[in-house]
């Protein structure tokens, strides 16, 4: 097959991470007039072969054919009662508009941007990344290990998690090797789950395998609030707006959009009591756990009634280390991505797509940024990053 005609098709409108749908529900409810721009970031410096941009274009164009099916709509009504009937009706009428995605390849470099109303463009990130990842392995001719070996590796991991007595969800849609591998992983986890495997972020595979779809919100929710309302308001107001839409459901707060220290300054007693727990996604996990426990104790909240979902680059060794260090001090759970869905004997890709700007009504576009607890993961306009650091009191590195 010629590279320019290589086509990867998504399995379903629901072949996406759950937090994209929950955030879309909130955006439709609160911010329907906001426009957004997303940009692809090639963190791993991957080199894309000739024809890659054309193949990605063809796969993106094919997404226009996707539509929520009647049985999928009923599944959302039954399984996700916190998604409003109005939103589910909206999703039933939603179709991807490929013209919202710009793809350009220059030599071995790839540029991808997405522009349009936020309530529409919010669904593009995860499918685009999964398409880029799957096409990369196809067009570079890399061969993975056999299915039986993938099953063996996955079963060994879930057996370890059962021995550790921890709960684990699969979070690996974005950088999976392929849908075929992802489906194999999902079925293997279900087969060997014991008490550990509790669900997947991929809604289509959750439905297909009869497990819980898992997710709340992502960094872009707080990146928007920081750009639109101000960095000092982003954490608190972002969570207040989330609670307004979901009334206490989906109560896991992402902590590191503007660093964990700033998050805990804004995570007041009301929010700490309202939200069931927090998610760790960058920086040292043990240090984060200590800060979280201390935060709850200072507010008179028993940490054992709350929990942390760890989700930053996890593998079985890291899960074991974190579990041993935090067991019996606070509730813990784990979201594991690439180590489950792209542990196939090849190097996983290091790629992301981030919200880069927002525009409300006739206002000028405002750059969005993410600071994270690792400076290497700072993303966005450098001047805006420096401004946020000054406003929030985060030390700025000398030039």
Q: What is the pLDDT of residues 48-95, one digit of tens each?
A: 999 999 999 999 999 999 999 999 999 999 999 999 999 999 999 999
Least trusted range by pLDDT, from 281-290, 319-328, 372-381, 386-395: 372-381
151, part of any domain: yes
pLDDT mean over 130-146? 98
Alpha-carbon gap, residue 13 to 168, rounded angstroms: 25
3-state secondary structure of 106: strand
**Does 37 have pLDDT greater than 50?**
yes
397, part of any domain: no
Which residue in the block uniquely carries the two structure tokens 């107001």? 237
- In DSSP notation, 252-288 reads EEE--TT-HHHHHHH--HHHHHHS-EEEE-SS-HHHH
**Does 350 have pLDDT greater than 80?**
yes
Query: Residue 233: exposed, middle, or buried by beta-carbon count in 10 A (0-12, 13-18, 19+)?
Result: middle
Q: State the pLDDT confidence band at 374, using cuts at 50, 70 and 90.
A: confident
398, part of any domain: no
42, part of any domain: yes
Number of domains in the chain: 1
**Does 177 have pLDDT greater than 90?**
yes
Alpha-carbon gap, residue 187 to 384, rounded angstroms: 44
pLDDT at position 1, please?
38
What tens digit of pLDDT does each residue of 207-240 get? 999 999 999 999 999 999 999 999 999 999 999 9
Q: Which of 54, 48, 50 is nearest to 7 (CA)?
A: 54
Q: Chain centroid to CA 169: how far? A: 13
Tell if the pTM clears 0.75, that is, is over it: yes
**Does 399 have pLDDT greater than 60?**
no
* Spatial contact of 337 and 174, defined as CB atoms under 8 Å apart: yes
Give the rounded percent of residues in the chain with a pLDDT score beyond 70.
98
35, part of any domain: yes
Per the structure, the complete domain to which residue 191 belongs is given by 1-392
pLDDT at position 5, please?
64
pLDDT mean over 276-296? 97
118, part of any domain: yes
pLDDT at position 3, please?
42
**Which residues have C-beta within 8 Å of that of residue 258, sequence separation ≥ 6?**
222, 226, 231, 234, 235, 370, 371, 388, 392, 394
399, part of any domain: no
Q: Which of 306, 318, 320 is nearest to 162 (CA)?
A: 320
CATH number of the domain bearing residue 68: 3.20.140.10
Alpha-carbon gap, residue 54 to 38, rounded angstroms: 20
pLDDT mean over 41-48? 97
321, part of any domain: yes
What tens digit of pLDDT does each residue of 9-32 get? 999 999 999 999 999 999 999 999
């Amino acid at each position: 097959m010629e590279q320019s005609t290589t086509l990867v098709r998504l399995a379903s409108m629901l072949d996406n991470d759950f937090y994209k749908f929950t955030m879309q529900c909130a955006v439709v409810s609160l911010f329907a007039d906001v426009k957004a721009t997303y940009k692809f970031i090639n963190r791993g410096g991957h080199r894309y072969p000739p024809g890659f941009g054309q193949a990605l274009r063809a796969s993106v164009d094919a997404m226009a054919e996707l539509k929520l099916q009647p049985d999928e709509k009923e599944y959302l009504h039954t399984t996700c009662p916190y998604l409003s009937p109005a939103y589910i009706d909206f999703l039933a009428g939603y179709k991807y508009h490929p013209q919202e995605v710009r793809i350009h390849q220059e030599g071995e470099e790839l540029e991808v941007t997405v522009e349009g109303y936020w309530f529409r463009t919010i669904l593009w990130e995860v499918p685009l990344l999964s398409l880029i990842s799957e096409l990369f392995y196809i067009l570079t001719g890399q061969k993975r290990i056999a299915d039986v070996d993938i099953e063996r590796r996955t079963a060994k991991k879930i057996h370890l998690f059962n021995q550790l007595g921890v709960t684990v969800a699969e979070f690996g849609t974005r950088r999976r090797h392929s849908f075929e591998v992802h489906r194999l992983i999902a079925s293997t986890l279900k087969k060997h789950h014991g008490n550990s495997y509790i669900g997947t972020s991929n809604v289509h595979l959750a439905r297909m395998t009869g497990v819980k779809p898992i997710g709340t919100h992502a960094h872009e929710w707080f990146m928007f609030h920081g750009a639109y309302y101000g960095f000092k308001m982003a954490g608190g107001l972002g969570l207040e707006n989330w609670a307004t839409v979901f009334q206490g459901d989906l109560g896991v707060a992402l902590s590191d959009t503007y660093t964990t220290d700033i998050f805990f300054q804004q995570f007041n007693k009301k929010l700490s009591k309202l939200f069931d727990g927090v998610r760790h996604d960058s920086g040292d996990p043990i240090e984060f756990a200590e800060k979280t426990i201390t935060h709850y104790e200072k507010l008179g909240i028993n940490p054992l009634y709350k929990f942390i979902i760890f989700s930053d680059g996890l593998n079985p060794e890291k899960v074991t280390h974190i579990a041993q260090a935090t067991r019996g001090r606070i509730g813990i759970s784990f979201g594991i991505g690439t180590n489950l869905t792209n542990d196939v004997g090849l190097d996983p890709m290091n790629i992301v797509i981030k919200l880069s700007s927002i525009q409300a009504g006739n206002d000028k576009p405002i750059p969005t940024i993410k600071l994270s607890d690792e400076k290497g993961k700072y993303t966005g306009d450098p001047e805006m990053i420096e401004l946020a650091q000054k406003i929030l009191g985060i030390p700025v590195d000398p030039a």
